[in-house]
Structure formats: structure tokens, C-alpha cells
Amino acid sequence: MADVRRIKGAVDLISNFPDEILQHILCFIPIKVAIKTSLLSKRWRHVWCDIPSLTLDVDSLTAASVTETLTHYTAPKTKIFFLKATKREDIPHIDQWIKCAMSHNVENLSLDFPRPYYEEYKPFLDLGSSFCEGYKLPGFFYNSSSFKQLNIKLSLFGTMVSECSVSWTSLQKLSLSRFRLSDESMAKILSGCPVLENLTLYHIRELKVLDLRKSLRLRTLEVKRNVWVQGLTQIVAPHVHCLKLLNSQLPCTLVDVSSLTEAKLDICHVSMNPHLTADFLQVMALKMLEKFQNAEKLSFGGNFILILSLAEIRGVPFPMLKVKSLILDTVICQYVIPGIERLLQNSPDLEKLIVRGRNYNTIPEEHVDIYLKLKTLNPDQCWKSKDGFAWNKSCWNVQPKQVASFVELVLINTEKSLKLVVLLDERPYLKFKIEDLVATLPHNNNVTILLSTNKPMPSEECVTVVYMTNRKALEEAELWFHVNAVEDGGTKNRLSERERYVWIGLPPGFTKCNVASSWIEALPT
């Protein structure tokens, strides 16, 4: 009887929580499960009806059940409303669902109507012109003072704004993905968003010129293009502080980005044509680099660095940079060394360098060598270092001496005291023994080298290994012992079996520390 009373007491304790707490909890479970809580008791009957966040994936529900859910939904204000629909039969209901969300003064609205299966076969099917035009957002959607964040993903044939005016007076963050948008429609959207701070454009078709001169509060711009979608050719963003641009092989001009303090850039490449359009890409990359001269934080992808390497080999001059923090998302191999070396030499104010060697470049090495041969250049001579060192051609055959040589190359080509972080991956880098790499590393007080791996060990545990040669390592190692409360030579099992950390001995002069589950998050800011 005592056990039964304790159970009943526990149930009563949960039921006695304020509605706000219960509703917050229900936001983290599927809506179908949240609705079922109404069967628990009278106390729970209407709790779910006022949850502040609502996620409706029509693929896992039905149009009728979504409509029924929204009929009983009574929250006066919705913080997050996510709606995903892909089936053709959902289209007649979408306007009604959006109107319901707006009637609850939704702040963060996400509409995900991705490309349905039938669009892949459009060229082969007679589906009718109205059907193939895709879903078009209704006119009332463009007038709302409650929107603070909008994420809109339409189908390939979807479109936004035509004759409608736009009034999103509170909108701060806007993300548009994978549909048609004309220059005129984009201008209408921007004019109706006076407090817009963050704009993201993913694979937007038809848009040619992005003019952000009147968007005085816009600070972050992210644009992704690919070879399949002919999009932006010009970007005018004088007020933007942070630019993230995944470019395609198509031309794109940065007309005005004079306020930039941070930029992230890479080149999208689809490896089908071995005749690499490297001449054009070099010109475009260097013009963009000139626009980033005053930025203090830069991040370049592997394809972009490879293109810079070709420019360096051909003797093309590089602009001087004022960058203080540089991130290179590239593997360590011969095809990126010349570009990295030149970037370092032209960055006299550099204070921190992070090399994420776990990301792979997508431009095939053989295509690069074909290009050099077409320029009557000998690839073997082009990729040989000035001191005759032979770099690895691929990340898959890297050796400890090459990783150590890369660290030395960085130190030689930097003038100031530098914080260096190199993140490696077990697939190409940890085929050799860790001790072999450690023995070849330069002992420099400003160097931090992270070797991270998810490769299963014999004990079926995952290992995250960090070698540090600076004073900070001792502090972090001490923190590790404190957090994990070492007892009897072991550690408390605070992590799952898969996430458990291993502590092993190191060569003299090195300190091992395992502090965070995510090394990217663990990096100093």
C-alpha cells in the first residue's frame, strides 16, 4: 500500500505543476503523443491546447488530423510553428493551416514544402501547367506584425511575391530556400522588413542582383549557390558585417561589402568535367579576397584554398589581409599548401589559426593536374615545396612527418605569436601510431594540436585524444579530473558507453586532456 501511495503522490506532483511548465515539457514530444496526454485526467484534458510550440509534419499525419489539431489549438501566442507538407493532396489545405498559425500571433514560422517526388518526372509527364507551377503563398501571408523569424522552403516550381506588397515589420531573421524569386520580388520583401538583421538564401532561382543598401540593420548574410541553379551575379551589402558564401562555378561579384568583419567562403564544385574552369575561378577568388582585406575573421573551404594554390603557382599577386582569426576547412595535402603558405605570409596580424583537417575537398586532384598540363606546367614540379619536401598527394596517404612539416610551415610563415589548432580525423590521419606523430612535432609553447577520433577501440570505447604543449593544457587537464571526480584510479561513469573517455599515458613533455564531447565547441573563442 505504501508503494501505491508513493506512485499516486508522484502522479499528483506532476499534475500540480503550473500549466506553463507542463506545456514547455510537451513541446519536446511529438504532437500525437502530446494530444494523448489529454486522456490522463481532467487536469490534462486541455493542457496541450496551449503549448507555445507546434510541429506538424503532414507526412507522418494526415491532412484531416492536422486540421482537427488546429481546431482545438487555443494558444493566444505561438512562439514556434513548423509545418511540413509534401503530398499533392495537402496543397488545398495549406492556406488554411498558415492562416491558423498567423491567427495565434506566431513569432517563428517555418514552412517546409520540399520538392515532391513528381517534380523529378515533370519533363516526362503531362501534369498540367497549373499543377507544375507549384504552391504559391497566399496574399494574406505577406502582412504580419508578429513574425520575428521566417524559414520558407518551397518546391522547385514554387514562387513568392508577385503583385503583393510585404509588411513584416517585426521580422529579424529570414531564410528562403529552393524556389523562384525575381529581383522585383526580393526588393519588395526587403522593403517590408525594416528591422531585418539576418538573411539566408539557399539555391534561389532567377534572383540576379541582391541590393541590400536600404537594409540598414542587416548584419548577417548567408548565400548558397550550386551549378544547377543560376542565381545571384551581384551582391551589394554595405551594412553586412558577416558574409557566408558557398559559391558555384558561376560568376558572382561582391559590389560593396565594405563593412565586413567576418567572412566564410568556399566554392561548390561538381566533378564531371576534367577541364577545370580554374582561370575564371582564380580571378573570381582573388577579387573576393580583395573585398575581405579588412575583415578580422575569415574562413575558407578546401576548394577555395586549392584555387588560391593555383593562383600562387602561376605567380598571381595576392592582396594583404588584416585578418586576426583564420579558419581553414581543408585536408592537409600538396594541393592546398601553396595557397595556405601565401595566405599566412599575407596576414601579418594573424593571432589564431584553426585548421579543420576533417573536411574533404571536392575538386578531384587529377582534374587539377590536367589543368596544369594544359598550361604547359609540370604538376610534380609545381607541387614540390621550396625546400624540396614531398607533400602527400592525398589525405589518405598522409604520414606523421607531413603533419609535423605542416605545423613547421605555419610557424615559419607567421610573424606574431600564434595560437594554432589542428583538428584531424582518424580515417586519413590516425592510420599511424599517435606516438610517431608526437615525436616529430615541434615543441612550441604556442602550438595546440587536437587529434580527434570516433574510431572504435578494442574496448569498444570511443577516444578523443588531445595533445597540448602549452600551459592551458595543464589547466584543462586539472579541470577534467575535477569534473569527472577521479576515484581509485578511475572515473565516475557519467558518460554513456559510446561517449566514455579514455585516459592513457603520454610521452614526456606532453599533457593529455579530454574536456568536451564536441571539440569544435571546446575551442577558444
| pLDDT of res. 504 | 37
Cell numbers describing residue 183? 529581383
Q: What strand order describes the sheet that includes 234-236?
A: 209-211, 234-236, 253-256
Q: What share of the chain in percent tops pLDDT 70?
A: 69
Q: pLDDT digit string (tens) for 188-233?
A: 999 999 999 999 999 888 899 999 999 999 999 999 887 666 678 8
- CA separation for the pair 53, 27 (Å, rounded): 6
Q: Where are the domains of the chain?
A: 304-487
Cell numbers describing residue 441? 612535432
Kindly give, in sequence order, each residue whose CB lies less than 8 Å from that of residue 411, ignoring residues fewer than 6 positions away: 418, 420, 442, 444, 447
Q: pLDDT digit string (tens) for 156-184?
A: 667 787 678 999 999 999 999 988 889 99
Phi, psi for 152 (deg, rounded to 5): -125, 120
> How many helices, marked H, and strands, marked E, lie in the chain?
17, 19
Q: What average pLDDT score do residues 276-297 get?
A: 90
What one-character-per-residue DSSP string does 96-135 give?
HHHHHHHHTT-SEEEEE-PPPGGGGGGGGS---HHHHT--
pLDDT at residue 445 tops 90: no
- CA separation for the pair 328, 300 (Å, rounded): 5
Highest mean pLDDT among 52-66, 286-300, 344-358, 455-469: 286-300
- SS3 at position 413: coil
- CA separation for the pair 305, 267 (Å, rounded): 9
By C-alpha distance, which of 170, 176, 181 is closest to 112? 176
pTM beyond 0.85, yes or no: no
Residue carrying C-alpha cell 609540370: 378
By C-alpha distance, which of 370, 431, 360, 343 is closest to 394? 360
| pLDDT of res. 70 | 93
| pLDDT of res. 156 | 63
Q: What share of the chain in percent tops pLDDT 90?
A: 36
pLDDT at residue 289 tops 90: yes
> Are β-strands 242-247 and 220-224 bridged in parallel, bridged antiparallel, or unpaired?
parallel
pLDDT at residue 273 tops 70: no
